[in-house]
Structure 1
């Protein structure tokens, strides 16, 4: 189990996102959402305990995680399908943690634990890399593994983890 990273800010408000460890937890949480909230994706993280945490979209991922390390992070939307809730779209889009696309396994397990229907992978994958020269984080677009800040080549393998 590899953590995505630990990014803590002194300004973190509250205790993080809502822990969703069962279908009942999700049912209670989703039942409190307004129509306007359901029209947008939510912020999510999967903690090192494998538990899903959800927060409003405008929440920072680090705040959703309560400042802790995570296994994955991104945005997620839900829809009703055949009388039950399922995941409509899910991405690893989190510039706070920059998770690798391989973190899908942890997301899938967390969604399965709360009995949500889900896709077979991220519906939108974001490729993150840290530049070995200038240390800036990059989003790789169209397989162009070149740092947008200094022009150096970016590694093919994910390297954003501080331990990497």
Structure 2
């Protein structure tokens, strides 16, 4: 993994982490064969939806059904990226149809794409070269709420406080 990659700790609700403590971790995908086998087991209903994914700090892709929490998929650990990913059969086999950094549990930056790209390239999975949907996350310094920034509006959806221009989940949420 790239030296400049940021590691993301879980920043979601403590009660979600506690509830997921005994949930199974996502399936580790180390090879294209692992991916093909896993996709063959999940069934057509699951294939119609994106999957929950994380890239762990060891550079492994983990996949779980979409309704899974990212913290469970990661086995509670720190990640290099997290979001949702959809696969489709292409002319050369399985490929990524859609991928995002949508994870309100880890709130990864769009720059975490580098970790996703590295693991997909290593697996030999064709991909779009970027997140097809990018989310911008900020924590409100006034109330501590996690926010998804929409339409460039850096205003907290809970308290109307100003959100910082830069990613700020590496700052402890003191008092929250």
Hey, which bits of structure 1, 4+ residues long, moved more than 4 A? Answer: none
Corresponding residue of 2:18: 10
Structure 1 position 109 matched with structure 2 position 109: no
Offset, 1:95: 0.9
Distance 1:84 1:33 in 2: 17
Structure 1 position 53 matched with structure 2 position 57: no
Structure 1 position 85 matched with structure 2 position 94: yes
Offset, 1:163: 5.6
Offset, 1:162: 4.5
Gaps of 5+ in 2: none
Distance 1:162 1:110 in 2: 28
- TM-score, structure 1 normalization: 0.94
Q: CA RMSD in A?
A: 1.6
Q: Is the 8 A contact 1:5 1:162 kept in 2?
A: no
Distance 1:131 1:139 in 2: 11
Gaps of 5+ in 1: none
Distance 1:25 1:83 in 2: 17
Distance 2:156 2:77 in 1: 28
Local SS of the residue matching 1:30: helix
- TM-score, structure 2 normalization: 0.88
Q: Is the 8 A contact 1:4 1:100 kept in 2?
A: no
Distance 1:153 1:20 in 2: 40
Distance 2:131 2:8 in 1: 16
Offset, 1:33: 2.2
Counterpart of 1:29 (choices 38, 63, 81) is: 38
Distance 1:34 1:83 in 2: 21
Distance 1:139 1:14 in 2: 26
Offset, 1:133: 1.6
Local SS of the residue matching 1:29: helix
Q: Is the 8 A contact 1:46 1:107 kept in 2?
A: yes
Count of matched residue positions in the alignment of Structure 1 and Structure 2: 164
Change (3 A) 1:117 1:163: farther
